[in-house]
Structure 1
């Protein structure tokens, strides 16, 4: 009882706080650094992965000390970002109204910027047409990109799902599209399916495999031999797609994070 009371009256531990700070590099380029104040951190730490740069601060560290730490390590940060770009782990960023490419289904579509009353994205044989209103900025572009990828993802699921439903006891209760850090999909006990939005950036066969994988969890809520037998029966070449995702997964997820400016 005494232990329970101590837990109830003890002050709530501060949670993790996140925001972003802009940093100008030596080549005059500006980047966004994810700034994380973490009560578990014991020191200032700067890290880089396929999602970009991250500055971690202990609870007691000041923002000024964090800024000084960034400036002191600016050259190292630029080198690390260049390494990720050279290794193909970071796709070229899509900058507002500048020439670029839009990744979709394993291809890089040339981007054509157009003026219009509304912000929207359409695709045809010539590439991706991004229509922006005169006042549209970065935030409007990121929203349009997310809506575009969600629509493309749902279109692919709608194309494949009817082929696999007859062999299932039930259909998924609903579909949620998320930006996931590590998983490609999940199935909740209530039958709700979640899929990673980055799947639509890669080759379609890998996306279809993940869909089949999650659908088979409606039959076997585990990864037992019986589960993999269900996957094999529906998608015989699943191992090739699993290997593709293991090889290309970091790049696909990093590209999506960069396009949407999403930080985990």
Structure 2
């Protein structure tokens, strides 16, 4: 049959996103992100550092989704309470934010007027300078640039110690705001690391770096891989426990500060 009579292939369905307001039993009103996912088989409610999310399969009605949230309201309130435990970290506010997290500590922050926007480390304190006309986007960009510069400084201290025993170096390293992972290594040896690592304990940050570097030797998580990790980071189990206890708080704190 001629190709003129062939039906066009249907376009793959994509995620549909919106949000709705929901009132908890204690009277609080929260915003729930709603996602209709063509791959979903059932209704699912989840909570992470970005808030509450309701996932619906293609044929589920909005009414059934909201009823599902009501039925799990107690669970939702408990999960939100866990994520609200953020040690007082709030979105960056000019002249209001008085401290910022860095390397497992909360450092005092002072605000100053200057010709350009810059956050700098001065001993055990931080100073943000910005012209009066600088908007929120400029302040957040300066904060993100500061955190990435500090994270790269840490890499500069650690990489020379580990690279001599590895077959090669990563092709490049970039920092991202990651939802669940702490790091990854692409097939081309490009490494990605979560920017929130610089907020936490340096030993935990170095463990993630070592973990990804060891994937240059073994791409899997075989016993041989973990022997490589143990040789370079003895006691790495303690760092994994640190992430189990503090990881959610670190990721949530960075997202609040950067408002993302």
Alignment pair present for 1:134 and 2:95: no
| Aligned residue in 2 for 1:16 | 15
Among 240, 245, 253, the alignment partner of 1:247 is 245
Question: In structure 2, the residue corresponding to 1:205 is in which secondary structure?
Answer: helix
Among 89, 93, 99, the alignment partner of 1:92 is 89
On the 8 A contact 1:90/1:254 being kept in 2, the answer is no
Tell me the CA shift for residue 50 of structure 1: 2.8
Give unpaired runs (5+ residues) of structure 2: 22-28, 64-73
Question: In structure 2, the residue corresponding to 1:239 is in which secondary structure?
Answer: helix
Q: Where does 1:113-124 land on structure 2 (aligned, <5 Å)?
A: 113-124=111-122
| Aligned residue in 1 for 2:50 | 51
RMSD over aligned CA atoms reads 3.8
Alignment pair present for 1:231 and 2:229: yes
**CA distance in structure 1 between the partners assigned to 2:127 and 2:225 by the alignment:** 42
Tell me the CA shift for residue 162 of structure 1: 0.2
**CA distance in structure 2 between the partners assigned to 1:52 and 1:200 by the alignment:** 23
Note the alpha carbon deviations across 1:31-59, whole angstroms, 9 max, x for none: 9x575553558999986533335577999
| Aligned residue in 2 for 1:145 | 143
Which is further off, 182-191 or 195-204?
Answer: 182-191
On the 8 A contact 1:119/1:131 being kept in 2, the answer is yes
**CA distance in structure 2 between the partners assigned to 1:230 and 1:207 by the alignment:** 17
Tell me the CA shift for residue 208 of structure 1: 0.5
Tell me the CA shift for residue 134 of structure 1: 1.3
Among 145, 166, 169, the alignment partner of 1:168 is 166
**CA distance in structure 2 between the partners assigned to 1:17 and 1:140 by the alignment:** 31
TM-score w.r.t. length of structure 2: 0.76
- CA 1:217–1:91: 2 relative to 1, 3 Å: farther
- CA 1:199–1:116: 2 relative to 1, 3 Å: same
Note the alpha carbon deviations across 1:50-103, whole angstroms, 9 max, x for none: 33355779999xxxx9xxxxxxxxxx9xx77983466x2464203422133211
| Aligned residue in 2 for 1:180 | 178
On the 8 A contact 2:48/2:83 being kept in 1, the answer is no
